[in-house]
Amino acid sequence: MSHQSCFRDLFRTAAAVAVFLGLFSASARADWQDDIGTFRIGVVAEPGAGNSVPGLSVLTKAYSMALGMKVEFLVAPDYATLIEAQTAGRVEYAIYSALAYAAAAERCDCIEPLAAPTDSDGAIGFRSILVTRDGKVPSLQAMGSHRIAVGAPGSIAGWLLPLAELASQLPSVPGEGQILEHAPSASAAETMLIEGKVDAVFGWSPSGEDNLEALTAGTVARLREAGVAEGSLQVVWKSGLLRYGPHAVMKTLDPEAKRRLGVFLTNLKQQTPETYDLLEPRHSGGFVAVKHSDYTVAAKLLGRISRNGDEGENDKPEP
């Protein structure tokens, strides 16, 4: 047999194998799509929006193209309903706040986070911080002899997160005239510091990887804007990072579906910014991949809320 004939036979064999593998791969992809039938995505409606979501038809088409299959959205009135739907297997994919994801993961070890949004300044979440002025509160240990402004009982950064992480160091919940002064809002707490009515305030700071602080927002930035000299402000303490809420899928979802969704989300900001803005109107920096361990602080915070019966802002990912 000539060398030319050998090469022809080898080429034909390789081509036949390639065709077989391609058909096998296509069949495997079709299997998971056929098994699911319709891919169901759960979201929570904005307050007062009923069961409508802005741009729902655009989002449905975008997810359908990414997965190569029919997609439907379930619009839930609240996170409790959404958690019930996903843990019961009625939706394959859900968009959560950090606390809602922690609650869902605690209820059922059947979901995993896929991706979460970031801010344009690099922030991936926020921390609670204790801010003092002119060094009046030099350390946490010195808190007992100073007046501290804290947020309303439902404030995450201003009350619940410090309570969760500093339970052994914070004074007990105060009454009138004691060490801690509850303020009705973050701005009211900041005003108390500005006017000298307190020596420190629990606030918040957007944060990125490696504790990198984003200075375009947060308590320190707001105090600067109010006229307080930056050099007079000191951050006495920072909590762990509370990540922005994730998009989570069922662990049993086919790996190819997870891969497609991950590629879709992490490239969406660059490829289709208009669709990204519909999907994620709060955080404009794009999606990044996340894992369950990124929500350790959220789980700790949820545990504190559950033990105390506090009504935390479970429906909001913001401080």
Residue 7 lies in a domain: no
Beta-bridge partners for 203: 129
In this structure, are 256 and 226 located in the same domain? Answer: no
Beta-bridge partners for 238: 129
Q: Answer yes or no: is pLDDT of 13 > 90.
A: no
Mean pLDDT computed over every residue of the chain: 85
Cα–Cα distance for residue pair 34/256, rounded to 1 Å: 13
Residue 9 lies in a domain: no
In this structure, are 103 and 236 located in the same domain? Answer: no
Residue 78 lies in a domain: yes
Residue 131 lies in a domain: yes
Count of structural domains, the chain: 2
Residue 17 lies in a domain: no
Average pLDDT of 97-102?
Answer: 97
In this structure, are 114 and 144 located in the same domain? Answer: no
Q: Answer yes or no: is pLDDT of 310 > 90.
A: no
Final residue in a domain of this structure, among 240, 258, 273: 240
* Measured CA distances, 75 to 62, 103, 183, 258, 301 (Å): 17, 19, 34, 21, 26
Residue 10 lies in a domain: no
Final residue in a domain of this structure, among 240, 260, 287: 240
Residue 199 lies in a domain: yes
pLDDT digits (tens, 9 = 90+) for 137-195: 999 888 888 999 999 988 999 999 999 998 767 665 544 446 889 999 999 999 999 99
CATH of the domain at 112: 3.40.190.10
pTM (2 decimals)? 0.84
Nearest CA among 59, 70, 101 for reference residue 83: 101
In this structure, are 82 and 98 located in the same domain? Answer: yes
In this structure, are 67 and 167 located in the same domain? Answer: no
Beta-bridge partners for 141: none
pLDDT at residue 215, as a whole number: 54
Residue 318 lies in a domain: no
pLDDT at residue 315, as a whole number: 38
Q: Answer yes or no: is pLDDT of 235 > 80.
A: yes
Cα–Cα distance for residue pair 191/193, rounded to 1 Å: 5
In this structure, are 206 and 132 located in the same domain? Answer: yes
pLDDT at residue 211, as a whole number: 55
Q: Answer yes or no: is pLDDT of 9 > 60.
A: no
In this structure, are 132 and 227 located in the same domain? Answer: yes
In this structure, are 106 and 162 located in the same domain? Answer: no
In this structure, are 138 and 221 located in the same domain? Answer: yes
Final residue in a domain of this structure, among 205, 240, 275: 240
106 pLDDT tier (thresholds 50, 70, 90): very high
Average pLDDT of 97-104?
Answer: 97
In this structure, are 132 and 113 located in the same domain? Answer: no
Q: Which domain holds residue 195?
A: 125-240
In this structure, are 83 and 222 located in the same domain? Answer: no
In this structure, are 156 and 291 located in the same domain? Answer: no
